[in-house]
Structure 1
Amino acid sequence: MTASIQHIKSSEFPDYKLGSITKFNYGIGDFGNNIIWHTMGLWLAYFYTDVYGLSAIHVGTMYLVVRIFDAITDPLVGLWVDRTRTKYGSCRPFILYGTIPLAITFIMLFYTPDLSDTGKLIYAYTSYALLTLAYTLVNVPFSSMAGFLTRDSDERTVLQSFRFGLGMLASVFVSYTTLSLVASLGEGNEQQGFFYTAIVFSLLIMACLYYCFFTVKEVYPAPPLGNNNTKPIKQLVADIKAAFKNKQLVILFLGNILFFITLTLKATPSVYYVKEVLINAEHLLTTFMTWGTVGATLGAALSAVLWTRFDKVRAYKALMFICGILTAIPYWMSGTDFLAILSLGVIVSFLSLSMVPLIWSMLSDVVDYQLSLTGKNMSGLFFALFLFTLKVGLGVGGALSLWIMGETGYIANIPQQSAEVVESINFISTLLPGILFISAGMIMMFYTLNKEKRTEIKIKLYGE
């Protein structure tokens, strides 16, 4: 332990603040990543049920099954990152070599093959799993790279604010342009329109990720590999066991599994919510989606400005409870109150996404906490495990939404859904995520790495 910490303290690299250009360039990479993430979050369920032709229950099951696949790939990629030493660093090689496969699998996801129902289901599972694997190969190293850019906790919050501000700007882009691109490129054929739109998006994804690769360098190199690198799988199991002995990591994981389930519960049925719950609002679908993502983008971008003046942990806990209350209120409102419901949605999007940079910054703090306890840097594994919690949120939240809709009788492309279906969509869009926000906040009450504790850890690791 002492040797590892001494290596860090004696590093020739100073603890300096990152320039705004570096933060912006890092954020551009996440703009590319989030074109994928938000296209899946906002439009994939609708594509699969109403365009591709799968049942809601099949789609929900697929969401969950593929996340089980993630349970294996995420930690393996994290282990790979932790054991990678190249002239490009530990993280950047994955962006260099993984970006093109990521773009190709994204295009595959939105292709509708001329197959039987069973064949289309198999293709959907295969393409979705391949995209998930490619996304993991790029996004785990990309997320881990933040720990190689700065050691300062507040500076990490600012960096993550840039990252998620630009990442959420991708959400605005996706929500505003998708339907118009589908209509224009498809010329009335939605299957063709989604496929060509995916091609356009993939070109932009590659441009963003390669721009990030060439403009952002890893400042702090990972320490030399020890002798335990000879049995990587055995070491992975040992590292995972060691990771889950860290109580603060476990609390952060549990709280944020619920948090990401909640965000996905709100996002997955949003198209159906506007079409079925709100009255005479289908023509306002793009408006509803775009303003929600504008609020989210501003929240992510202003996170550092809003919360670094306070202790970010206390702010995060309070925001969970506030978002829970505001999210649940529309459950009891009339479907004709479009403007009021939209306004509440924008506020919740603003507040909830302002928490996301705090989450990733807290994870870097937990990495430092683990290093202070054991003398071992487990950044790649921690970020891989944490990205898995995010994907569990996507899988479980999406599965719950679509299972509930399917079980209550949702049928694609009919003039009017049953009252039971409309009620289920309202419930999973408002009251249920409100309850889960509050539950996540209660779990996070046990997280104790406050500002004083973080300062103590930093001094122990890096000196005054």
Structure 2
Amino acid sequence: MLTFFQRQAYASGAFTKSTLWNFTDLLLLYYFADIQGLGAAAAGLILMVSLLVSGVLDISLSLLLDRYNLHYQKVIASGAPLTVLSFAILFYPLPAGADYLFTFYLVVTILFRIGYALVDIPHNAMMGSLTRDSHERTRLSSSRIFYNSCAILLFAAFAGDTLAMLESQDNGMRTILLITASVFMLVNIYLCILPVWREGNLTAVKHPPPLSKAFRALLRNKAFMVLALYSLLPCIFIPVFYKSGVYFASMLFHDEKLTTWLIMSLAAGKLVALPWFNHLSQRMEKHHAMILALAGLAVTFLSFLLLIPATMTGACVYFVVCGFFSGGLLVLVWSALPDTIEYGARDQGIPNQALTFGAFHLVMRISDGLSFAVIAGALEYAAQSANADIESVLFVEIISLVASAGCLLGAVVLWFYPLTRAVHNALATEKDK
């Protein structure tokens, strides 16, 4: 059993990971295209290529981790400097419009994706190696979501100031802030692994199976496949609601800057959810708690459809409630994922410890990209209306209905999740003998 300090130390790594992801996911396109003068097409190409590389890296690294029984903490320690250094170089002040910028940013962005994978995949895989206790994994997951939400709150609070700094010519201040932030993030990454450096119970594999056999074992792991199917299909539709926050702010309240308040409300709701769902997971099966959270989300989305908020305060209330149930889902899904490792090891004889997380990452990337395509389709359909007010209402209706349908689909998928608390406890006990 991990101590409170070890649990918080490990989970705190989610703060830096979330900060890095938010900056590159939400600001990099605008920074490349508009501030550095690359244009939308070139900037989009850089991000698309780097994300494709990231998907290949996630799978490749997870296979290497399993095949050679690499020490997760050592991999994180080796990847941290590359991650932080490449991130700092991405935002280092360079002359806008220079001929070499496209090639330069393409190379540095790919280097960042490599470094991020070296930190992200083993850090997530540690959820399965630090403990086999299902409830302890829920506590770890809850702590991770806490630091993740704190990073989102901080990002949302200073997003406007960050953009203003990037657009300004005050290169000296930007350099100082980049160095300070880089040192902080590097220290945070090392502090998240040092207290648990000797922790972990990786299963030694003397004769690693062929890659094809490892993948087949993962595909035959029913518990994993249910979670993967949930992440692939329902998660295309459910997140479109809170990803549309900027359009809600623009269409309903005519001010895109108000999106910051919606993001902060969503993160605040996640923070409130953590102790509640942590407690709930002890009282009922995890997949039943997930279905309950999906029901809460569906009610929230349909309420937004029927009672479209007339004020920003009302919209923030909806996003707090949405954050509450979506935060609970995150806690439960990420704590259930490592439970599937023991389930697969029993049925297939192959633990697939890191591959479980690498494959899940890939599925998440696919659904994440498709969810933006759904939003784009909704915008195109709503734009056919000649009246702006009708267009905004139509967009809200489409997004709310699509997200609600995703909740229903998610509940159907999760109903077939085979791993109960009793079954997992028996598997963990067998493994410890």
Q: TM-score range by the shorter chain?
A: 0.7 to 0.9
Q: Partner of 1:315 in structure 2?
A: 289
Verify the 8 A CA contact 1:277 1:335 in the aligned structure 2.
no
- 1: CA distance between counterparts of 2:167 and 2:406? 41
Aligned CA RMSD, in angstroms, stands at: 3.7
Verify the 8 A CA contact 1:30 1:167 in the aligned structure 2.
yes
Deviates more, 1:114-123 or 1:298-307: 114-123
Q: Partner of 2:427 in structure 1?
A: 457
CA deviation after TM superposition for structure 1 residue 143, in Å: 0.7
Q: Partner of 2:82 in structure 1?
A: 101
Matched, 1:26 2:6: no
Deviations 1:46-86 (A, max 9, x none): 65676567887887787666544344221211112113456
Say which of 152, 174, 177 aligns to 2:133: 152
- Per the alignment, do residues 124 and 443 of structure 1 end up closer, same or farther by CA in structure 2, a change over 3 Å counting? farther
Verify the 8 A CA contact 2:76 2:119 in the aligned structure 1.
yes
Verify the 8 A CA contact 2:272 2:324 in the aligned structure 1.
yes
Verify the 8 A CA contact 2:88 2:179 in the aligned structure 1.
yes
Q: Matched residue pairs, number?
A: 431
CA deviation after TM superposition for structure 1 residue 323, in Å: 0.8
- Per the alignment, do residues 316 and 381 of structure 1 end up closer, same or farther by CA in structure 2, a change over 3 Å counting? same
- 2: CA distance between counterparts of 1:428 and 1:37? 28
Verify the 8 A CA contact 2:287 2:415 in the aligned structure 1.
no
Matched, 1:251 2:232: no
Q: Partner of 2:213 in structure 1?
A: 238
- Per the alignment, do residues 440 and 114 of structure 1 end up closer, same or farther by CA in structure 2, a change over 3 Å counting? farther
CA deviation after TM superposition for structure 1 residue 149, in Å: 1.2
Verify the 8 A CA contact 2:83 2:112 in the aligned structure 1.
yes
- Per the alignment, do residues 224 and 307 of structure 1 end up closer, same or farther by CA in structure 2, a change over 3 Å counting? closer
Q: Secondary structure at the match of 1:308?
A: helix
CA deviation after TM superposition for structure 1 residue 378, in Å: 1.3
CA deviation after TM superposition for structure 1 residue 155, in Å: 1.2
Verify the 8 A CA contact 2:33 2:43 in the aligned structure 1.
yes
- Per the alignment, do residues 435 and 220 of structure 1 end up closer, same or farther by CA in structure 2, a change over 3 Å counting? same
CA deviation after TM superposition for structure 1 residue 94, in Å: 1.5
Q: Partner of 1:209 in structure 2?
A: 189
CA deviation after TM superposition for structure 1 residue 333, in Å: 4.3
Q: Which runs of 5+ in 2 are unaligned?
A: none
Verify the 8 A CA contact 2:132 2:339 in the aligned structure 1.
no
Verify the 8 A CA contact 1:181 1:193 in the aligned structure 2.
no
Q: Which runs of 5+ in 1 are unaligned?
A: 1-16, 230-234, 410-416
CA deviation after TM superposition for structure 1 residue 424, in Å: 7.5
Q: Partner of 1:373 in structure 2?
A: 347
- Per the alignment, do residues 420 and 110 of structure 1 end up closer, same or farther by CA in structure 2, a change over 3 Å counting? farther
1:39-188 aligned within 5 A: 39-44=23-28, 66-85=50-69, 90-110=71-91, 127-183=108-164, 185-186=165-166, 188=168
- 1: CA distance between counterparts of 2:234 and 2:178? 28
- Per the alignment, do residues 53 and 306 of structure 1 end up closer, same or farther by CA in structure 2, a change over 3 Å counting? farther
**TM-score, reference length from structure 2:** 0.84
AA partner of residue 369 (structure 1):
Y
- 1: CA distance between counterparts of 2:233 and 2:170? 34
Verify the 8 A CA contact 1:246 1:370 in the aligned structure 2.
yes
- 2: CA distance between counterparts of 1:430 and 1:63? 29
Deviates more, 1:320-329 or 1:132-141: 320-329
- 2: CA distance between counterparts of 1:62 and 1:146? 32
Verify the 8 A CA contact 1:67 1:395 in the aligned structure 2.
no
Percent of aligned positions that are identical: 21
CA deviation after TM superposition for structure 1 residue 125, in Å: 5.5
- 1: CA distance between counterparts of 2:377 and 2:36? 17
1:186-205 aligned within 5 A: 186=166, 188=168, 201-205=181-185
1:359-438 aligned within 5 A: 359-402=333-376, 405=379, 422=392, 426=396, 430-438=400-408
- 2: CA distance between counterparts of 1:243 and 1:226? 19
- Per the alignment, do residues 24 and 104 of structure 1 end up closer, same or farther by CA in structure 2, a change over 3 Å counting? same
CA deviation after TM superposition for structure 1 residue 45, in Å: 5.9
Q: Partner of 1:270 in structure 2?
A: 245
CA deviation after TM superposition for structure 1 residue 381, in Å: 0.8
- 2: CA distance between counterparts of 1:77 and 1:295? 34
Say which of 262, 265, 269 aligns to 1:291: 265
- 2: CA distance between counterparts of 1:117 and 1:457? 59
- Per the alignment, do residues 222 and 249 of structure 1 end up closer, same or farther by CA in structure 2, a change over 3 Å counting? same
Verify the 8 A CA contact 2:33 2:42 in the aligned structure 1.
no
AA partner of residue 232 (structure 2):
I
- 2: CA distance between counterparts of 1:84 and 1:349? 39
Verify the 8 A CA contact 1:257 1:393 in the aligned structure 2.
yes
Say which of 200, 204, 216 aligns to 1:224: 204
Verify the 8 A CA contact 2:63 2:354 in the aligned structure 1.
yes
- Per the alignment, do residues 56 and 197 of structure 1 end up closer, same or farther by CA in structure 2, a change over 3 Å counting? farther
- Per the alignment, do residues 118 and 269 of structure 1 end up closer, same or farther by CA in structure 2, a change over 3 Å counting? farther
**Which of structures 1 and 2 has the larger relative contact order (alpha carbons within 8 angstroms, sep 6+)?**
1
Q: Partner of 1:349 in structure 2?
A: 323
